Amino acid sequence: MRDKTRAQVMSLVAGFGLDGFTDHYPDQLSRGMRQHAALLRTIVQGRSVQLLDEPFGALDALTRARMQSWFEDRWQTARWTTLLVTHDAREAVALWDRIYVLSRRPARVMSETTVPIPRPRTGRPPCAQAHEIESQLLETLLNQTGEHP
């Protein structure tokens, strides 16, 4: 079983941008490469649904944008069913087709939004429709907390 898993991981390494780094320790990798490795570990488990909790949150803006574009490219090929937890409305609109805004605890669905913008969405400036969806999401969140800018 271990050899089979290793072979499966090695077949995916290049597509995850880790070719040539399989013998490196995590502290020898950039943050972006660590995120690639974390996503590879998630995907190789072969689950029918992937759960990603703030996968790009700890990255600087440039690395984050590159990772989002990279992830969208991988998703376009593999079509993983993925549940993303994020606090970033722009990221949600760029990467996901359906967005649920949850309330505070106990969590309940406050809104559901379908993103009708064609793919690819990353790697180019957001369109007016994306800005409108982001604004609606933020308004829903601000109404929940009673905070306004």
Q: Is the pLDDT of residue 144 over 80?
A: no
DSSP-assigned letter for residue 120: P
Predicted local distance difference test score (pLDDT) of residue 100: 95
Structure tokens at 107: 């969590």
For 71-80, give one letter per residue: b (16+ CB within 10 A) or e.
bbebbeeeeb
Q: List, in order, residues 6 or more apart from 85 with CB less than 8 Å away.
A: 51, 52, 53, 54
For 55-67, give one letter per residue: b (16+ CB within 10 A) or e.
bbeebeeebbbbb
Q: List, in order, residues 6 or more apart from 27 with CB less than 8 Å away.
A: none
Show the DSSP H helices in 45-80 as ranges. 61-78
Distances in whole angstroms, Cα of residue 48 to Cα of each of 51, 81, 83, 100: 10, 7, 11, 20
- Is 52:85 a contact under the CB 8 Å cutoff? yes
Q: For 30-83, what is each residue's pLDDT tens digit?
A: 888 888 888 888 888 878 888 889 888 878 888 888 888 888 888 888 888 889
Q: For 127-138, what is each residue's pLDDT tens digit?
A: 899 999 999 999
